[in-house]
Structure 1
Amino acid sequence: MDNAKEGFIPVTGGNVWYRISGNGPSIPLVVLHGGPGSKSSDSDPLRQLGTDRPVIHYDQLGCGKSDRPTDTALWTVERFVEELEQVIQALELKEFHLLGHSWGTMLVASYLFKKPKGVRSVIFSGPVLDAQRWEQDQRNYLKQFPQEIQETIEKSERNQTTETEEYGQAIMAYYKRHMCRVDPWPKEMEEDMEQLNHQIYNFMWGASDFTVTGTLKNFDATGRLSEIEIPTLFSCGRFDAASPEATEYYAGLVQDGEFHVFENSSHMPGIEEPEAYVEMVREWVNRQELRPGA
């Protein structure tokens, strides 16, 4: 977008980079990227919504264009939630919609449990709201792969040899089925994977999607989802690492929670079905703004 504005915001632990795409008249949309340790996508199709409303992305501390401190005391859910609060305050957002993707849904849920003011609606995209269930879903998916791939992943994680080419090829076979089914992957997605901050990912999550050993190991928001009282949409791809069964279950825990599946996507519908993804988000936020009494 030509009329994008970007800059840096001081937060606890350093400065984070942000970008505002568009200046449409409707209520802003704030997007939280996945990871932990990943970054915002420069080619996120949601930026097209800038003609309707400002679309705000930011790289979480330690990620992308933001500062990269190495103090592991900074890598807590609470500090990342505080960072979101600091971004919202710095940008003087009085009302906004929230969209979290993947690990970003953990942040969104944790933020909403603090009952913040001004959030008009929320979208949980490819939600990770129960770490143990996520791990179990990935292990169930893994059983559908050839024995050789299963054994390579099991052996590499057991022996902590996840840096080998053999492991890389095995994990890529899984990613191409349940992370992003576009073949070949867009160059930007490959670069994003390469730029992942492994210190944050390994500290908070662990070796891989199949084995949660980090500080998020026991993260489970399901017992509190019923506390969310704003309009809530849960979405995932038919082949998503965030399984449709888990995503629909989460939707059922929120009063009037809605559920949407992208039939031709896995975990990256913004890349796999960009037009359908943008249309879903546009229709959702517009509908919330038209609701009587909203």
Structure 2
Amino acid sequence: MATTEGEYVNFNAPGAGKPCKTWYKIVGHLESSSASPPLITLHGGPGAGHEYLAPLADLYHSRQIPVIFYDQIGCGRSTHLREKMGDRSFWTFDLFLKELDNLIDHLKLRDRGFYLLGQSWGGMLCGLYASRRPAGLRKAIIASGPASVPLYVQGCQGLLAELPPDVRETLEDCERRGDYESETYEKAASVFYGRHVCRIDPYPDELLAGFAHLKEDNTSYLTIQGPSEFIVTGSMKNWEGWHDAHNISAETLLLNGRYDEVTDLCMTPWFKHIPKVKWITLENSSHMAHFEERERYMQICGGFLTSDKGAATKSGIY
């Protein structure tokens, strides 16, 4: 498997006040004229880094689709900006879409085309980016990325209500006191994560790397999301990405897990408003279906990306 060791591209981040760089790596070959369009991956968080999406490299092995991973600004090997904590005018959706555009142009992918897969927060970016009809975008996959943050929070509240009473009471007590960092809170929150974020025990090493990134630098996460997965107080609190979904012209695949923190409630608006869309729910997965049902996940994604049949009509399991 041909893999770059990692490269950097300069990124002129508006308002950063210093030079910035985006780190990326490519699994496969971009040089061959006969190669498939590459798949660009958008990780979640924000701030979780690229490692936890590592299983997507399977698509190169099985389908010869080159896969491009990168760390979004503010995390991993890309430029960190801890001095921007709480700066909502800096940490915007447009910032991350400009970074994506910058990477695409650097790799000269407009003419040959590219695919896009965004997971979680990355799925939100993917949907918004696709709605702008960027040159070169062939197909898009929104994996466990909510179309509406208010509906995401509503769905999480339903999941929290199903937790054991003692766990729920602990979380509610910690929330009232603003305690999101104690061992007590983390232990209670881990019950939610074990049910609705990743059901594999122990967690895969790549996923642990993502959690480590968030712990090392939570600047973008706290500013955009908030103190936890199910308490959203950041700038995306009222985000309704589905409002622009009717503008998405690329064929789009929606994925989520039956036990996902990104519930059907907040995925449905994508399905209702994207013109060419297919929705598949993986029955034995939560938020990390690419680990939990890895083989089926890759079959679904690979089949969608390489099929020329299209998604002319809406279809789905939902």
In which range does the TM-score fall when normalised by the shorter chain?
A: over 0.9
AA paired with 2:156? Answer: Q
- Deviation of residue 249 (structure 1)? 4.1
Q: Deviations over 1:12-63 (max 9, x none)?
A: 3310110110127111111100001111026612112224121111100011
More displaced stretch, 265-274 vs 237-246? 237-246
Distance 1:87 1:134, change over 3 A: same
1: CA distance, partners of 2:131 / 2:278: 19
Aligned partners of 1:106 and 1:11: how far apart in 2? Answer: 21
Distance, in Å, in 2 between the alignment partners of 1:234 and 1:2 is 29
State how far apart, in whole Å, the 2-side matches of 1:285 and 1:162 are. Answer: 40
Partner amino acid, structure 2, of 1:286: T
Runs of 4+ with >6 A deviation: none
For residue 186 of structure 1, report the CA deviation from its aligned partner. 1.6
Distance in 2 between residues matched to 1:57 and 1:191, nearest whole Å: 15
Contact 1:136 1:210 in 2 (8 A): no
Q: Secondary structure at the match of 2:25?
A: strand
2:26 to 20, 28, 35: 20
Structure 1 residue 138 corresponds to structure 2 residue 156: yes
Report the CA distance shift for 1:291/1:161 in structure 2 as closer, same or farther (over 3 A).
Answer: closer
Between the aligned partners of 2:243 and 2:53, the Cα distance in structure 1 is: 35
SS at match of 2:23: strand
Alpha-carbon separation, structure 2, partners of 1:85 and 1:287: 26
- Specify every segment of 5 or more residues in structure 2 that has no aligned partner in the other structure, as ranges: 14-19, 312-318
2:236 to 202, 212, 216: 216
Q: Which moved more, 1:227-236 or 1:45-54?
A: 45-54
- Alignment partner, residue 47 of structure 1: 57
In structure 2, what is the Cα distance between the partners aligned to 1:43 and 1:104?
Answer: 11
Match of 1:229 among 249, 256, 259: 249
Kindly indicate whether the alpha-carbon contact (under 8 Å) linking 2:131 and 2:249 is maintained by their aligned counterparts in 1: no
The one-letter code of the counterpart of 1:221 is G
1:149 is displaced (CA, Å) by 1.1
Corresponding residue SS for 1:31: strand
2:185 corresponds to 1:173: no
Q: For residue 60 of structure 1, what is the aligned residue in structure 2? A: 72
Question: What secondary structure is seen at the aligned counterpart in 2 of 1:195?
Answer: helix
Give the structure-2-normalised TM-score.
Answer: 0.87
Describe how 1:1-294 pairs up with structure 2 within 5 A: 1-13=1-13, 14-23=20-29, 25-41=35-51, 44-51=54-61, 52-70=64-82, 71=84, 72=87, 73-94=89-110, 95-196=113-214, 197-288=217-308
Inter-CA distance 42–225: structure 2 relative to 1 (3 Å threshold)? closer
Q: Distance in 2 between matches of 1:69 and 1:245?
A: 34
Contact kept in structure 1, 2:242 and 2:273, CA below 8 Å: yes
Count of equivalent residues: 291
Distance 1:215 1:140 in 2: 22
- 1:105 deviates by 1.5
> For 1:82-126, what per-residue CA distance to the aligned partner results, in whole angstroms no more than 9, with x for missing partners?
111001001111200111100012211222232211100100000
Give SS of 2:147's match.
Answer: coil
Q: Structure 1 unaligned runs (5+)?
A: none
Q: Is the 8 A contact 1:35 1:201 kept in 2?
A: yes
Q: Give 2:71's aligned amino acid.
A: D
Change (3 A) 1:43 1:118: closer
For residue 131 of structure 1, report the CA deviation from its aligned partner. Answer: 0.9
Q: Could you tell me how far 1:228 is from its partner in structure 2?
A: 0.9
Structure 1 residues 200-209 or 36-45, which shifts more? 36-45
CA contact (8 A) 2:97 2:125 kept: yes
Shift of the 227–59 alpha-carbon distance from structure 1 to 2, 3 Å rule, reads same
Rounded to whole Å, the distance in 2 between the matches of 1:217 and 1:43 is 25
| Displacement after TM superposition at 1:189 (Å) | 1.6
Q: Is the 8 A contact 1:12 1:79 kept in 2?
A: no
Further displaced range: 18-27 or 94-103: 18-27
Cα distance, 1:291–1:256 mapped onto 2, change above 3 Å: closer
Measured after TM superposition, the shift of residue 161 of structure 1 is 1.0
8 Å contact from structure 2 (residues 37, 114) kept in 1: yes
8 Å CA contact 2:132, 2:248 repeated in 1? no
Structure 1 pair 129/12, CA: closer, same or farther in 2 (3 Å)? farther
**Could you give the per-residue CA deviations for residues 114-168 of structure 1, whole angstroms, max 9, x where no partner exists?**
2211100100000122111111111100000111111111121221111111100
